Amino acid sequence: MIALSQTLLEHLPPSQLARPGQVERIKGIIFQSDYISVLGAWIIRPVETLDRRLAGLARDLGGPPIAMHAGIHVVLQDGREFVAEKLSASIRDNFVDGLNWTPIQTFRARNHGGWDVTVPPEAFRKIDAEIVAEATSYLNQVQGHPFFGEDCTVFVERAFGKRRLFADSPTARLIGLGLRVGDPALPLIRPDAQLSDRTKRLLRVDVVKELPDPIAPHHAPNARIWLRRGFWLAGLVAGIVWLYRLARMWPTRPLACSR
């Protein structure tokens, strides 16, 4: 499955920075779990472990992996389907503009043995048809932001008028703080949402439907973003220190005096 996905990716159209056409409608919020993601396995998942356990989302042994990424699944006027998503695959993504438009088949091939599922926007709390229409219009004029200032969930919420579609950090809430965590595994699904059994199983809807409404505003500090910044800053500092030590150890020769 992993080898097949990699082969498919090499022959599928890549993500693109420019909007590929007029957005006709929003099909839903698409969730993804990339089974072999190094970033997800070693940085994102451990950071969110406590929050997820407090929310009752400890992963079942042998069960499917939990959602790690989210984007907006759209249909263009010509019928093609794309995912508007935030990526961090390049310096440009991280520091200039991380908004990418990915063909749906390419997005799905990127699962690497994981999964993806699309949830209708009206299945989220406080989202109705009028708000979806506004979000559709917004996507036809949206401007991208750097990934280091806006991750995938913050982008999704910005497109929907900066309404909260993902829960606060359960850890921060426990100690009385309204702190965003930006975790795709904590979507604010309506308790009465009509979803397929597969969607309910993958998103653990039986658990997340009980998450409390958020108290932190859209612009509140985002723990995931700050942890990523700290990770890259630590790497930069370590690189500078290594180069400094290397320079001090480098042998030098005295310059010969000219005669």
Q: Are the CB atoms for 113 and 3 separated by under 8 Å?
A: no
Percent of the chain predicted with pLDDT > 90: 50
Neighbouring residues of 33: CB distance < 8 A, sequence distance ≥ 6: 40, 64, 65, 66, 67, 68, 69, 111, 114, 115, 116, 202
Lookup: tokens for 110: 């990127």
Lookup: tokens for 220: 């509140």
Lookup: tokens for 50: 């406590």
Q: What is the mean pLDDT of residues 68-85?
A: 97
Taking alpha carbons only, the member of 202, 210, 156 closest to residue 35 is 202
Taking alpha carbons only, the member of 232, 49, 30, 238 closest to residue 148 is 232
In a domain, 149, yes or no: yes
In a domain, 47, yes or no: yes
Neighbouring residues of 8: CB distance < 8 A, sequence distance ≥ 6: 105, 109
In a domain, 259, yes or no: no
In a domain, 258, yes or no: no
In a domain, 105, yes or no: yes
In a domain, 254, yes or no: no
Residue 205: domain span: 2-249
- Which DSSP helix (H) or strand (E) runs through 92? helix 91-95
Instruction: Assess whether pLDDT exceeds 50 at residue 4.
Output: no
**AA letter at 83:** V
In a domain, 116, yes or no: yes
Of the pLDDT bands very low, low, confident and very high (cuts 50, 70, 90), residue 198 is very high
> What's the pLDDT tens digit per position in 131-163?
999 999 999 999 999 988 898 999 999 999 999
In a domain, 256, yes or no: no
Number of domains observed in the structure of the chain = 1
Order the strands of the 69-76 sheet from edge to edge.
99-103, 81-86, 69-76, 23-33, 115-119
- CA–CA dist 30, 25 (Å, integer): 14
> What's the pLDDT tens digit per position in 83-124?
999 998 888 988 899 999 999 999 998 876 789 999 999 999
Residue 253's CB: how many other CB atoms inside 10 A?
Answer: 5
Q: 71 - beta bridge partners?
A: 30
More confident residue, 4 or 29: 29
